[in-house]
Amino acid sequence: MQALRLVGTYLRIGVQAELQYRSNVLFSVVQSLVAVGTSLAVLALVFSHTDDLGGWSGSELLVVMGVYVLLGGVLRSVVQPSMTQLMDDVQHGTLDFVLTKPADAMLLVSIRRIELWQAVDVLVGAGIVGYALTRLDTRPGALAVAGFAVALALGVVVLWAFWLLLTTAAFWVVRTDSLVELLSGMYQAGRWPVTIYPGWLRIGFTFLVPLAFAITVPAQALTGRLSGWLLLGAAAFTVALVAVTRWVWTLGVRAYSGASA
């Protein structure tokens, strides 16, 4: 409860800060449209040659793309800015201020920065998903939509935990500038359903880079591919990932000794 209130206050102040930069909204919209346009062109190109990609139809892949854009918006608006700030803090020793606060430090570092206008992608992604749904042969039922909501929430948690896990590596490596590019590169692989990748890559994406659970599972829910067991598995995986992240975070804090030490 207390944690929720803390998150609420941080989000509110973060949004207030971002409202000062209204001109950024235009930039974000243009950026988002260009990215989505490119992706749609690729998708159209692929389906001008074939009707089916690894068992997914064009409209179904559009659902995947919608989820990809939506979660990408969450990633770039909330998760990534805070992680960049965390790396900065480790480098400049200002993490000291976080660690001397009477609140959970792992929670604090996760909500400290917001880039509100990047959340344009959340709306665009939702729009794509909505449009794709109108083109599907079978509309998802209430259960499928509920499964989608749960899977999407799990996806947000997975992305956050995974990003935090890798960023915590900054504690040991001190400065990993390329980490952000590396992570966004990996995230881009998620624009296609994990199931179309060859077996060895798929396992890598699912367990090493948990994109499958983050992006593909919500899309599977809307396209009649999600079983209860798969959702349960995704939930178990999410819990495990958060636990590992927590453990590595604790190790990281223990190893952290301040930039001037």
Partner 1 sequence: METAIRVRDLRKTFRVPERDAGLAASVRSLVRRRYREVHAVAGVSVDVAPGEVVGFLGPNGAGKTTTLKMLSGLLVPTSGEVSVLGHEPSRREKAYLGRMTLVMGNRNQLQWDIPALDSFELNRAVYRIPEADFRRTRDELVELLEIGDLVRKPVRTLSLGERMKAEVAAALLHRPQVLFLDEPTIGLDIGAQKRLRGFVAEYNRRHGAAVLLTSHYMADVQALCPRVVVIDHGQVLFDGGLRELTARFSPHQTITVQLATPGADLSGYGTVVPADEGRVAVQVPKAQTSAVAARLLADHAVTDLTIEDPPIEDVIEQAFADRSAVAS
260 belongs to the binding site for partner 1 (CB under 8 A): yes
Answer for which of 23, 48, 50, 100 binds partner 1 (CB under 8 A) is: 100
DSSP string, 59-112: HHHHHHHHHHHHHHHHIIIIIHHHHHHHHHHHHHTTHHHHHTSSS-HHHHHHSS
- Spatial separation of the C-alpha atoms in residues 243 and 92, rounded to whole Å: 28
For partner 1, the closer of residues 107 and 201 by Cβ is 107
Three-class SS state of 197: coil
Write down the least CB distance from residue 207 to partner 1, Å.
Answer: 30
258 belongs to the binding site for partner 1 (CB under 8 A): yes
- Spatial separation of the C-alpha atoms in residues 207 and 202, rounded to whole Å: 9
Answer for which of 108, 116, 124, 214 binds partner 1 (CB under 8 A) is: 108
Answer for which of 26, 27, 101, 203 binds partner 1 (CB under 8 A) is: 101
97 belongs to the binding site for partner 1 (CB under 8 A): yes
For partner 1, the closer of residues 139 and 175 by Cβ is 175
- Spatial separation of the C-alpha atoms in residues 246 and 244, rounded to whole Å: 5
9 belongs to the binding site for partner 1 (CB under 8 A): yes
170 belongs to the binding site for partner 1 (CB under 8 A): no
Answer for which of 38, 40, 46, 92 binds partner 1 (CB under 8 A) is: 92
Neighbours of 110 (CB within 10 A): 23
103 belongs to the binding site for partner 1 (CB under 8 A): yes
218-247: contacts with partner 1 (CB under 8 A): none
The closest alpha carbon to 67, from 141, 167, 152, 182, belongs to 152
Three-class SS state of 248: helix
15 belongs to the binding site for partner 1 (CB under 8 A): no
- Spatial separation of the C-alpha atoms in residues 125 and 133, rounded to whole Å: 12
Instruction: Choose one: 33-41, 100-108, 173-181, 230-238; the region binding partner 1 (CB under 8 A).
Output: 100-108
Q: What burial letters (b/e) apply to 112-138, b meaning 16+ CB within 10 Å?
A: bbbbbbbbbbbebbeebbeebbeebee
250 belongs to the binding site for partner 1 (CB under 8 A): no
DSSP run (H or E) holding 166: helix 142-168
Query: What residue ranges bind partner 1 (CB under 8 A)?
Result: 2, 5-6, 9-10, 13, 16-17, 20, 92-94, 96-97, 99-103, 108, 112, 254, 257-258, 260-261
